Structure 1
Amino acid sequence: MRNICVKVSYDGSGFNGFQSQPYGRTVQGEIEKAIKKLTGETIIIIGSGRTDAGVHAQGQMFNFYTESTIPTQRWAIALNTRLPKDIVIIEAFDVPEHFHARRSAKRKTYRYTIDLGKFPDVFGRQFRFHHPTPLDIDAMREGLTYLVGEHDFTSFTSIHSTKPHHIRTIYEADFIQEGPIVHMYVTGNGFLYNMVRVIMGTLLWVGEGKLVPSDIKRILEGRNRSLAGPTAMPHGLMLMDVEYFIEKQG
């Protein structure tokens, strides 16, 4: 039995999230069907985390156990020929038997993208939240600094969160502007349900002048979802990278 880790990218527009659901098309469901076609095995893959409906990924990771003898370096090509065009396998490599894509993850990076142009870009609209009125990006950047470090992020997660606690660590966070396009990058040891989207929705209020940057500290310390802003639209969010401290074995 081999344990294989795979890096996958996908356009989340047509999916009901990454994780298998009773209804709706999911990334996990499509990948598991492709593996079944390839090897005949019924396998449940283990994702590094969930992404919501409409959220994209450039570097989602998953692992699975297989008895197939297909060489590891052939898995990406073999799966891509059996997957829909909105899912692309980037690479596959062998990992130790104990490796678990979610539990072994050390750092994850998300990006949320805003388009400040007067009109939406027809070619990029499904990956960017269009906000045609001005935003104070410097104020948003200042507000974001209050979230760096280890905190209880109860105010910045869904009330439907099922996690036993909401303490997470954000290592790095910043805004990068490229003309009318603004990216927020956030790297942490893990993220709660809707966490990045609630952070973005609250920072949009800062950018619009509805809050001042220091309000982020007050909201964080309040540990109450009702204190924060709205949950930003899913299509602006992308999982960029998941990092592990392992040696690739194949």
Structure 2
Amino acid sequence: MRSLTPRLREKTAPFFMRTIKLIIQYDGTNYCGWQEQTNGPSIQETVELALAKILGQRVRVQSSGRTDAGVHAVAMPAVFRTESTIPLKAFVDGVNCHLPDDIAIQSAVEVPTGFRAIGGARSKTYRYTIYNAPVRSPLNRRTSWHVREQLDLQAMQQAAAYFVGEHDFAAFRGANCSAVTSRRRIDAVQINQSGPLITIDVTGGGFLKYMVRIMAGTLVDVGRGRFAPEHVAGLLAEPDRQRGGVTAPPQGLSLLQVIYPG
């Protein structure tokens, strides 16, 4: 009588899936944002197609959040699941061979199955960069907002301090933001200047659509003398988008870092 052992082993063999976390850096100038859309190329779609060249099949890559059209990332975490046993190095060197010059995988690590890129982050840090000079800079045009008027850095720093803490940021959200609540926690806002470059680093637990760009635009309006620093406190106490500052253009914004518990 033929043994059934080999067939039973094959049928009951454990199903193994790896969860891989990538750190992706990109210049978002030529893309419609992170999320795949029908109106142009996205970072997500481009990365997934490059991964498919290595894996032989399309996998879904989930990031820690969405960046808008024209926004950049120094270190965007993103995860996917695969049955492939290829070494982690292939997810860096191999995938980068199939990516355009404005996107690159910086690292790949294996994480526990339950790891969540989105919703599981402890904090995120965004940087908004302003080129503050009378004459525009061709070399900085893709990564900064050119503001010609001299800005009052001290007034901007005073205004930035009001953002820290948990507040209702309804005055700092885009009109089409779908978030259920506009309350958010901001841990730190740091403003520094090096020559003509002014950077605004914002760290918090989460952000509304266009939130950092509207915060940056409002701080620039403070620096221009349009608002007093205390105006920010008023917008947080009595939210009104119409009384807020401009929405800063996307090219000055970059995702710097995402921190996860542990």
* Cα separation, 2, equivalents of 1:212 and 1:222: 16
What is aligned with 2:104? 88
What is aligned with 1:175? 191
What is aligned with 2:65? 49
Once the two structures are superposed, what CA deviation does each residue of 1:214-249 show, in whole Å capped at 9, x if it has no partner? 000101122222221111000001100111124xxx
Q: Does structure 2 retain, via aligned residues, the 8 Å contact 1:171–1:187?
A: yes
| 2:52 matches 1:36 | yes
Identify which of 138, 141, 160 aligns with 1:125.
141
Once the two structures are superposed, what CA deviation does each residue of 1:43-80 show, in whole Å capped at 9, x if it has no partner? 11111000000001001110000111111233111110
* Cα separation, 1, equivalents of 2:227 and 2:133: 23
Q: Does structure 2 retain, via aligned residues, the 8 Å contact 1:176–1:183?
A: yes
| 2:79 matches 1:63 | yes
What is aligned with 2:95? 79
Once the two structures are superposed, what CA deviation does each residue of 1:76-132 show, in whole Å capped at 9, x if it has no partner? 111100111100110010111010101211110000001112222211211011112
Q: Does structure 1 retain, via aligned residues, the 8 Å contact 2:131–2:140?
A: no
Identify which of 193, 205, 228 aligns with 2:244.
228
| 2:27 matches 1:17 | no
* Cα separation, 2, equivalents of 1:167 and 1:94: 33
Output the amino acid matched with 1:133.
E
What is aligned with 2:9? none
* Cα separation, 2, equivalents of 1:132 and 1:88: 33
Q: Does structure 2 retain, via aligned residues, the 8 Å contact 1:155–1:225?
A: yes
* Cα separation, 1, equivalents of 2:243 and 2:94: 48
What is aligned with 2:235? 219
* Cα separation, 1, equivalents of 2:134 and 2:229: 25
* Cα separation, 2, equivalents of 1:231 and 1:13: 17
| 2:207 matches 1:194 | no
Name the SS for the 1:83 alignment partner. Answer: coil
* Cα separation, 1, equivalents of 2:90 and 2:54: 11
Q: Does structure 1 retain, via aligned residues, the 8 Å contact 2:128–2:216?
A: yes
Q: Could you tell me the TM-score, scaled by structure 2's length?
A: 0.92
| 2:121 matches 1:105 | yes
Name the SS for the 2:236 alignment partner. Answer: helix
Number of corresponding residues: 246
* Cα separation, 1, equivalents of 2:240 and 2:87: 50
Q: Does structure 2 retain, via aligned residues, the 8 Å contact 1:73–1:93?
A: no
* Cα separation, 1, equivalents of 2:65 and 2:48: 16
| 2:201 matches 1:185 | yes
Name the SS for the 1:111 alignment partner. Answer: strand
Name segments (4+ residues, structure 1) moved above 4 Å.
none
Q: What RMSD, in angstroms, separates the aligned Cα atoms of the two structures? A: 0.9
Identity of aligned residues (%): 39
Which stretches in structure 1 are left out of the alignment for 5+ residues? none
* Cα separation, 1, equivalents of 2:95 and 2:238: 47
